[in-house]
């Protein structure tokens, strides 16, 4: 297993991060105090922040969790709707391409022609066209989860969500909107740097070069190649900056969603008097378990406390993320809230999309620990290709052990028989013992030599 798969950072990343930290620390020693030279201090802090944004990629494990989470959610969604996919998005769906085109040509929706075509392309062709692209979408989701060529598959995944969302806008909910936005942000991030086939491929290539004694690639020390090296370094800084910017936008998006939801709730009279959840539990559209909904609606004090706590946590979360420890209790309560929404109200896709988005706020050390534990459990699973051979090896070893145990049990009896024969020969011939001192000069058969038996 690679260090990328297990969740530990590669040696190159650790060295680069250490070098960046030393450079920042060395520069920090020359930073003047704020009171003495405030403008110089602000300029230094700005330059230091920009250096960190362009040289050190943050939340690599968090973006990998988002890639696996959102890709798996949409893959499960497409497979779950497979028996009804033609009625939902096919050419014969009630929401026809003509209606969709008319909706897109609304003066209030000033879209480009390319966007309108892309949002409705699933219904432009016939049934064969639709079936082909539906199966391609399933394949794209699977490759995105596995992290295969994420530079390409991340863009294809974002286009896939946009196409299905735009094909029938009345089938979407908040979960589809969140996943569509997150898919666009992930296309600009290094979501395949950890726990992916791309990371595994890079590790194997590095291992092959190291085994062959090939040094790491370096540009020739000539003016022309040094210019190319500078362009390559600039490209790496731009990619790192885009990744960090995408992570910041993802975190800001989650905070905006929670803050907007909390502020809108605080303006409603039902949330102010604590009865909003009571009326929500009596809506027929959100009652997959009527018995559970009726039981919870009967707990008037509890649902009032939960209503006030929900509004408070959602409004406070954008400020709690700046605290080192306060954000974790808020995340626990928000995850519990979304889990309750998924079970009680029957909205699993929306709840799962929000819970996956919350993963970006968790520290890298936690994901490293989770990765090690998961890899340890995976190693204990039986491998189909080696299961038969391992059983054969265990059976053969068991046969050998049984034979050895049987030989050791019979060894005292064998020795007694040999000694009785020797005594009989000694009594008859009154000569030297039949077993010579040298085993090589012995005329007895090999089985009669106890020191060469199987048990020895």
pLDDT band at 423 (very low <50, low <70, confident <90, very high): low
The pLDDT, as a whole number, for residue 221 is 73
The better pLDDT of the pair 432, 190 is held by 190
194-210 burial: b if 16+ Cβ within 10 Å, else e: bbbebbbebbeebeeee
Query: What's the rounded Cα separation, in Å, for the pair 388 and 406?
Result: 27
Average pLDDT estimate for 291-316: 92
Percent of the chain with pLDDT over 70: 70
pTM of the predicted model, to two decimals? 0.73
The pLDDT, as a whole number, for residue 215 is 63
Q: Where does residue 71 rank: exposed (0-12), middle (13-18), buried (19+ CB within 10 A)?
A: buried
Q: Tell me: pLDDT of 325 over 70.
A: yes
pLDDT in tens, 342-373: 999 988 989 999 999 999 999 999 999 998 88
Query: What's the rounded Cα separation, in Å, for the pair 191 and 199?
Result: 10
Sign of CA dihedral 195, 197, 198, 200: positive
pLDDT in tens, 186-203: 999 999 999 999 999 988
Q: Tell me: pLDDT of 399 over 60.
A: no
Domain boundaries, the chain: 1-56, 59-204, 253-366, 400-431+447-456
Q: Tell me: pLDDT of 127 over 70.
A: yes
The CB density around residue 135, as the number of other CB atoms within 10 Å, is 13
Return the axis-axis angle of helices 127-146 and 60-80, rounded to nearest 10°. 150
Tokens read off for 349: 């896709």
Least confident of 5-19, 65-79, 160-174, 271-285: 5-19
Tokens read off for 134: 């539906």
What's the gap between Cα 14 and its chain centre?
Answer: 21
Average pLDDT estimate for 129-156: 93
Q: Tell me: pLDDT of 158 over 90.
A: yes
Average pLDDT, the chain: 77
The pLDDT, as a whole number, for residue 218 is 67
pLDDT band at 155 (very low <50, low <70, confident <90, very high): very high
The pLDDT, as a whole number, for residue 456 is 33
User: According to DSSP H, which parts of 321-363 are helical?
Assistant: 327-344, 348-357
Sign of CA dihedral 279, 284, 290, 292: negative
User: According to DSSP H, which parts of 187-222 are helical?
Assistant: 197-211
Q: Tell me: pLDDT of 380 over 70.
A: yes
Vertex 14, ends 12 and 20: CA angle to 5°?
Answer: 100
Sign of CA dihedral 212, 217, 218, 222: positive
Query: What's the rounded Cα separation, in Å, for the pair 154 and 261?
Result: 29
The better pLDDT of the pair 295, 23 is held by 295
Average pLDDT estimate for 57-80: 94
Q: Are 182 and 189 in contact (CB under 8 A)?
A: no
The most confident of 146-155, 226-235, 437-446, by mean pLDDT: 146-155
């Amino acid at each position: 297993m690679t260090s990328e798969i297990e969740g530990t950072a590669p040696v190159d990343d650790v060295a680069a991060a250490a070098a960046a930290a030393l450079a920042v620390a060395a520069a920090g020693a020359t930073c003047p105090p704020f009171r003495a030279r405030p403008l110089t201090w602000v300029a230094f802090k700005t330059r230091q922040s920009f250096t960190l944004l362009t040289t050190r990629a943050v939340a690599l494990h968090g973006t990998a969790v988002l890639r696996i989470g959102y890709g798996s959610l949409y893959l499960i969604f497409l497979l779950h709707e497979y028996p009804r996919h033609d009625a939902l998005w096919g050419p014969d769906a009630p929401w026809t391409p003509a209606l969709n085109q008319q909706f897109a040509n609304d003066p209030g929706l000033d879209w480009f022609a390319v966007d309108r075509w892309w949002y409705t392309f699933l219904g432009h062709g016939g049934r064969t066209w639709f079936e082909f692209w539906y199966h391609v979408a399933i394949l794209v989701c699977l490759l995105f989860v596995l992290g295969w060529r994420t530079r390409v598959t991340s863009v294809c995944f974002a286009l896939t969500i946009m196409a299905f969302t735009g094909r029938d806008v009345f089938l979407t909910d908040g979960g589809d909107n969140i996943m569509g936005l997150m898919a666009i942000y992930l296309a600009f991030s290094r979501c395949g740097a950890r726990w992916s086939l791309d990371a595994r491929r890079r590790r194997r290539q590095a291992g092959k070069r190291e085994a062959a004694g090939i040094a790491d690639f370096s540009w020739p020390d000539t003016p022309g190649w040094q210019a190319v090296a500078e362009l390559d370094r600039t490209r790496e800084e731009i990619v790192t900056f885009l990744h960090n910017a995408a992570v910041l936008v993802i975190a800001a998006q989650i905070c905006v969603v929670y803050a907007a939801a909390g502020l809108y709730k605080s303006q409603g009279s039902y949330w102010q008097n604590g009865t909003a959840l009571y009326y929500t539990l009596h809506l027929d559209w959100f009652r997959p378990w009527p018995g559970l909904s009726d039981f919870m609606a009967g707990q008037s004090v509890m649902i009032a406390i939960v209503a006030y706590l929900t509004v408070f946590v959602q409004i406070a979360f954008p400020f709690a993320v700046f605290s080192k420890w306060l954000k974790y209790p808020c995340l626990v309560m928000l995850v519990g809230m979304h889990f309750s929404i998924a079970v009680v109200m029957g909205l699993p896709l929306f709840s799962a999309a929000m819970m996956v988005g919350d993963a970006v706020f968790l520290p890298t050390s936690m994901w490293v620990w989770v990765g090690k534990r998961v890899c340890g459990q995976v190693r204990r699973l039986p491998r189909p290709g080696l299961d038969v051979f391992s059983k054969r090896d265990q059976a053969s070893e068991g046969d050998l052990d049984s034979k050895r145990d049987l030989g050791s049990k019979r060894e005292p009896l064998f020795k007694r028989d040999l000694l009785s024969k020797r005594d009989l020969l000694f009594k008859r011939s009154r000569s030297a013992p039949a077993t010579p001192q040298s085993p090589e000069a012995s005329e007895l058969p090999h089985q009669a030599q106890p020191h060469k038996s199987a048990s020895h």
